[in-house]
Each structure stands twice: as C-alpha cells, then as structure tokens.
C-alpha cells in the first residue's frame, strides 16, 4: 500500500476535492430556500465554487497535456 495514499494528507486532499462541489451545492440550496432580494446573498458562494471547480479542471488538463508531451519527447525515435 502506498504510504502517501493514506493518513492525514490523503484525507485533506479528499476534503479539498469535495470543497468546491459542496460549496456549489450549498449555494444552490440557499438559492432555492431564499426569496426576493436575499437570493443575491448566495451569488458569491456560487461564483467562487464554480471558479474553483473550473480552475481545478483547467489545471488538471494542463498537467495531463504536459505529461503527455513529456512522455512523447522521451520516446526514442
């Protein structure tokens, strides 16, 4: 078993991975339960959660692209 895959570091990474989807979910629930002008109060949480999620997706794509490029350069030929 990989020691990096267990322990406090792994649980912290799991919580951080769930943070933005949970923030979006909480904002949507708040949006459903509020009425009138108080609905605007959940907008920052929704935008921050969406921004974090989109940033995470773009970083993951960039890292994968760079890894593939690196692997292709290492290949003899």
Dump pLDDT digits (tens) for 24-70: 999 999 999 999 999 999 999 999 999 999 999 999 999 999 999 99
| pLDDT category of residue 74 using cuts at 50, 70 and 90 | confident
| pLDDT category of residue 5 using cuts at 50, 70 and 90 | low
Specify the number of domains making up the chain.
1
pLDDT digits (tens, 9 = 90+) for 15-25: 888 999 999 99
Q: What's the confidence (pLDDT) of residue 8?
A: 82
CA distances from 40 to 4, 36, 47, 52, 54 (A): 42, 8, 11, 20, 22
Is the C-alpha dihedral spanning 59, 64, 65, 70 positive or negative? positive
Domain that holds residue 21: 3-74
Q: What's the confidence (pLDDT) of residue 44?
A: 95
């Amino acid at each position: 078993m990989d020691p990096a895959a267990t322990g406090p570091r792994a649980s912290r990474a799991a919580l951080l991975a769930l943070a933005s989807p949970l923030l979006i979910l909480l904002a949507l629930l708040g949006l459903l339960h509020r009425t009138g002008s108080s609905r605007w109060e959940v907008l920052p949480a929704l935008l921050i959660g969406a921004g974090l999620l989109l940033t995470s997706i773009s970083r993951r794509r960039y890292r994968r692209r760079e890894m593939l490029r690196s692997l292709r350069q290492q290949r003899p030929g």
